[in-house]
Amino acid sequence: IKMLLDVKNLSIYYYTLAGTVKAVENVSFAIGKREWVSFVGESGSGKSTVAYAILNLVPSPGQIINGKIIFEDKNILELTNEELREIRGKEISMIFQDPMTSLDPLRKIGDQIAEVMIEHGIEKEEAYEKAKELLKKVNLPEDRISYYPHQLSGGQRQRVAIAIAMAFNPKLLIADEPTTALDVIVQDAIMDLIGTLKDEGTSIFFVTHDISLAAERSDKIAVMYAGKLVEFGRVEQILENPLHPYTQSLLASVPDLWSEKEIKAIPGYPPDLRNPPSGCRFHPRCPIFKEKPALKGICDVTEPKAIEIEKEHFVACHLHR
Ligand code: ATP
Ligand code: SF4
Ligand code: MG
């Protein structure tokens, strides 16, 4: 299959006064047309940094130091600002955990939805007409067009953000924890809306720290640990046959309502990415490394490379070579 997005060897560092944070290191993955890929991993594992990189929006002092981001045969990282503006909001849209980061508190909802279309060359009248349709599509009453963001609930604001993201039937939607701040019922409705986008042909890059949420709707799951992509595969492969010890720990830490199974939190802490562990970044916390003396001198010395174990299922761990 032809891929919509092909990310190769992406590395991103933050150059802070306290040192260089190696936030993303050598990450490669691809997203096909109409595919929903969810990125999971603990706080600080680099999920948002990868998400921002796709639109070349990594905030300062972050810098993409290596890699290619191929979107439909173009390397995003080589585009001019104007070419990028053309793509943003039209071919690639983005929504965030807090919809207020993209909404202007001082302007009416309708103006903000229409603006995106006007910016991309649509006549004013048509843009407002389309804005009404979009509100309907995200299940908001038409009169919300003249509301200000503060007059809406968090869930309604997220619907507005999605309406804006939908304006051009984008090829890719980047969604960074769009439901984290919402209660469960609203969360579900927002997931449904993203599902609607996918049904209409949009590919989804979804970020969550909740692997059970990822499991619900995704086609594929990408597991990040300390700036590395440690496992990537189809949902069934990740859930039924997790290969990386970190993925296994993540799954073991999911609360299971239907069993008495004890929840095991992952012992230890994510490493300081200014000085990441040698070899496999997970080795200081890896239960298998602790158990098997034979891994000494391997896991703590040599970085494991990602390999394809079965079709579309990649893992970076010395246990799988
Ligand atoms: P979360 O689940 O908390 O949102 P994340 O997986 O999205 O986490 P990132 O926000 O991408 O993780 O952060 C990756 C690493 O980069 C972390 O170590 C973080 O401290 C660091 N980092 C992120 N933004 C900056 C910044 N502006 N300056 C310095 N370091 C940063
Ligand atoms: Fe554990 Fe070694 Fe695999 Fe890393 S490479 S996850 S330390 S077994
Ligand atoms: Mg984040």
The CATH number assigned to the domain holding 211 equals 3.40.50.300
Q: Quick check: helix, strand or coil at residue 293?
A: helix
* pLDDT at residue number 264: 74
- Best residue among 48, 98, 230, 281 to mutate for probing ligand 1, ranked by most atoms within 8 Å of CB: 48
* pLDDT at residue number 185: 87
Question: Is 90 exceeded by the pLDDT of residue 257?
Answer: no
Closest ligand 1 atom, CA of 52? 11
Does 183 fall in a domain?
Answer: no
Please answer whether residues 52 and 58 qualify as being in contact, where contact means their C-beta atoms are separated by less than 8 angstroms: yes
Does 7 fall in a domain?
Answer: yes
Does 151 fall in a domain?
Answer: no
* pLDDT at residue number 179: 93
Does 146 fall in a domain?
Answer: no
Closest-CA residue to 178 (of 311, 165, 126): 165
> In whole numbers, what is the pLDDT of the chain averaged over residues?
94
Q: b/e map of 211-234 (b: 16 or more CB within 10 Å)? A: bebbbebbbbbbbbbbbbbbbbbb
- Tell the residue nearest (CA) to atom 20 of ligand 1: 44
Name the percent of the chain lying above pLDDT 70: 97
Please answer whether residues 203 and 35 qualify as being in contact, where contact means their C-beta atoms are separated by less than 8 angstroms: yes
Does 286 fall in a domain?
Answer: yes
Closest-CA residue to 87 (of 113, 47, 120, 129): 120
Distance CA 156, CA 139 (A): 9
Query: pLDDT band at 119, cuts 50/70/90?
Result: very high
Closest-CA residue to 238 (of 39, 42, 69, 86): 39
Instruction: Render 127-182 in DSSP notation, one character per residue.
Output: HHHHHHHHHHHTT--GGGGG--GGGS-HHHHHHHHHHHHHTT--SEEEEESTTTTS
For 224, the token pair is 């990040």
Does 30 fall in a domain?
Answer: yes
Residues with CB under 6 A from ligand 2: 244-245, 280, 282-283, 286, 288-289, 295, 299, 304, 317-319
Question: What are the tens digits of pLDDT across the range 174-231?
Answer: 999 999 888 888 899 999 999 999 999 999 999 998 999 999 999 999 999 999 999 9
Does 201 fall in a domain?
Answer: no
Question: What are the tens digits of pLDDT across the range 16-51?
Answer: 999 999 999 999 999 999 999 999 999 999 999 999
Q: H or E stretch including 48?
A: helix 47-53
Q: Which domain holds residue 59?
A: 3-81+207-315
Does 60 fall in a domain?
Answer: yes
* pLDDT at residue number 184: 87
Closest-CA residue to 117 (of 102, 131, 104): 131
Query: pLDDT band at 1, cuts 50/70/90?
Result: low
Number of domains comprising the chain: 1
43 lines ligand 1 (CB under 6 A): yes
Please answer whether residues 10 and 29 qualify as being in contact, where contact means their C-beta atoms are separated by less than 8 angstroms: no
Angle between helix 109-119 and 124-137 (nearest 10): 120
Nearest ligand to the CA of 286 is 2
